[in-house]
Structure 1
Amino acid sequence: MRRLRFLTHRHRAPSTNRVLGLLLAFNAGAVNAGGFLVLHMYTSHMTGFASQFADSLVLGNTKLLLNALGAILAFLSGAAVCAILVNWGRQHRLRSVYAVPLLLEAALM
């Protein structure tokens, strides 16, 4: 448990960030590969859509290509809006900078 807290601590060393990034990338790839083998579809979030985009581009499936492109653009737009809201919360010294993005997400759902 102590190692998990070390990986998720607010102030991490660059080497810890690399380990965390590698673990997250490995996990996403494993979920994507496992889902593809079982369901014959990419199941992981962004890696799955990136794989679906590449496959659709090669196979010429325009409908799936646009689906994957739309999902990737929606993800990037959401990440940008979240970053803007978190930075706004920091500038205004809000007690919880993640409350506004979470409330927006809850309202959109």
Structure 2
Amino acid sequence: MKTRRRLRDPYRSARAIVARRRSAGNDLILATILAGIAGAANAGGFFALGQYTSHMTGYLAALADNVAIANLGIVAISALAVAAFIAGAGFSAILITWAQGHAASRQQYAWPLVVQGVFLGCFSMGGLLTGEVGRIFSLACLCFIMGMQNATITRISGARIRTTHATGIVTDIGIEIGRAICGRLRPGLGVTADRDKLRMMLLLVGAFLAGGVFGAIGFGLTGFLFAIPLAASLLALGLPGVIGTWAR
């Protein structure tokens, strides 16, 4: 009986992490896992495609610059990346909203994770497609995933966390450090740092960096196949909730 219960614990834990009723602890666990996956996919994607696919600021800047000089090839690639990211975010919102109105509502956050896992699996097959077609497919696939992931954790956390948006995370770290310094220098102001938020942001940055190291090394060793364990991680998080929903 105890053995059976132990075997079911990972299943139950996965369902709890993506459940409708949230806790700060579950949010942090999920955000840390997703930040690590985002870092790995971003770094591996750079080595595979020469592009950081979570960096929409860079794509928008490249779009503007190359429109100005009429470099239509770069314009098209940048527009595709931004459109794929937006499409991924939109599709995540559609899935979550659909699930909230159906029997799947208790596990609405599981669905986007499963779809992301499937798309990461598709990305891992990008090396089978040669030339510019394979590169464009892989780029669009990875940007779509990044958009889905960012939108999913944004919905789950009530817009407190964005795992692919390292600029925002680092900005929040700077703000809290600044508040801590002000509190030390001028205690009378009543300004203090939000230590819990600072710890959370530092953890997410650390996860993103660690994931980046994994992605860079993984791509160097296995090529596009480095994405398979990332896809498996997302499916392991999402499938218990999806399977449990349809089993009822």
TM-score normalised according to structure 2 size: 0.26
- Residue in 2 that maps onto 1:32: none
Q: Does 1:100 align with 2:111?
A: yes
Q: Does 1:63 align with 2:73?
A: yes
Matches within 5 A, 1:22-61: 45-61=55-71
Q: Which runs of 5+ in 2 are unaligned?
A: 1-23, 28-50, 121-248
Instruction: For 1:75, give the aligned amino acid.
Output: F
- The Cα shift of 1:94 comes to 2.2
- The Cα shift of 1:89 comes to 1.4
The correspondence for 1:89, drawn from 85, 88, 99, is: 99
Q: What secondary structure does 1:60 align onto? A: coil
- The Cα shift of 1:98 comes to 1.4
Distance 2:75 2:55 in 1: 15
Distance 2:57 2:79 in 1: 12
Matches within 5 A, 1:5-16: none
> By percentage of residues, which structure has more helix?
2
What are the Cα deviations for residues 42-76 of structure 1, in whole angstroms up to 9, with x where unaligned? 95621111101001111221111000000111111
- Residue in 1 that maps onto 2:85: 75
Distance 2:70 2:119 in 1: 33
Distance 1:86 1:52 in 2: 32
Instruction: For 1:102, give the aligned amino acid.
Output: L
Instruction: For 1:66, give the aligned amino acid.
Output: A
The higher-RCO structure (CA 8 Å, 6+ apart) is: 2
- The Cα shift of 1:96 comes to 2.6
Q: What secondary structure does 1:65 align onto? A: helix
Distance 1:78 1:84 in 2: 10
Aligned residues: 71
Q: Which runs of 5+ in 1 are unaligned?
A: 9-41
- The Cα shift of 1:88 comes to 0.9
